[in-house]
Amino acid sequence: MTAHTVGVAFDPTRTWRLHPQVAVRPEPFGALLYHFGTRKLSFLKNRTILAVVESLDEHPTVASALAAAGVGHDQEAPYLHALSVLVASNMLVRKETP
């Protein structure tokens, strides 16, 4: 169970979006993500990170998506970490290069 590491660095000043081959299923604890390309499963461990992930492509930067979901500056770190993990496994891609 290794993440597919691709050569894309997570730059929170850009706009990100879910990979078009990723399906999202909300669950009581958060959500399940499944990537039909890599056949990998991921977990979002609360509903806030789900809201962030689903709204990323509506925001010019990750910071504005976090703010819109109610995540304060002092609470950003775990969310940025979670998003970087999703980028490393190709669940999230840059909006302009799908």
- CB nearer to another protein: pick between 14 and 45: 45
Contact predicate 93/44, CB 8 Å: no
- CA 51 to each of CA 28, 30, 46, 54, 93: distance values in angstroms, whole numbers, following the listed order: 14, 10, 9, 5, 17
State in angstroms the smallest separation of the CB of 95 from another protein.
22
- CB nearer to another protein: pick between 36 and 98: 36
Instruction: Give the residues lining the site for another protein (CB under 8 A).
Output: 1-2, 21, 23, 25-29, 32, 34, 36-37, 39, 41, 43, 45-46, 48, 70-72, 75, 78
- CB nearer to another protein: pick between 8 and 32: 32
State in angstroms the smallest separation of the CB of 45 from another protein.
5
